[in-house]
Amino acid sequence: MAELILSPIAEKIIGGLGSEAVKHISLIWGVEDEVEDLKETISTIQAVLLDAERKQSHNNQVKNWLQRLSTVVFKADDLMDDFNTQALIMSHNPMANQTLNLDSDFKPDPDPGPDLDSDIRLEPQL
């Protein structure tokens, strides 16, 4: 089986977190510190990945660990792609943020309650 190389994907995630669109959206949402913490955490993980990638050809446990970890790394990469796409959309279209909020907050009330005019309600006829 081929050796797994995950550290470049971690580098791509770090790069995505540093994009101008993500910086802009992080500032708007007030999550700059969390994004910076995430970049530092992924940098630490990347260092561990580099070491594990060197050891995997001589250690089956490390190779198995990298195989299991690959699913998580690829999902994180997909998530960052999605986030970057949304950040780009929002940074180029300020109304997109408001539209997204309206869409996510809009939930029709399934039971309108007694406030409806009784003439409008459909009453079953017996």
Structural domain boundaries of the chain?
A: 7-100
Kindly report, residue by residue over 34-70, the tens digit of the pLDDT: 999 999 999 999 999 999 999 999 999 999 999 999 9
What pLDDT shows up at residue 4?
79
Pair 62, 55: CB distance under 8 Å: yes
Owner of token pair 């399934």: 110
What pLDDT shows up at residue 120?
37
**In one letter, which amino acid is 119?**
D
What pLDDT shows up at residue 63?
93
Is residue 32 over pLDDT 80? Answer: yes
Indicate the pLDDT class of residue 29, thresholds 50, 70 and 90: confident
Is residue 18 over pLDDT 50? Answer: yes
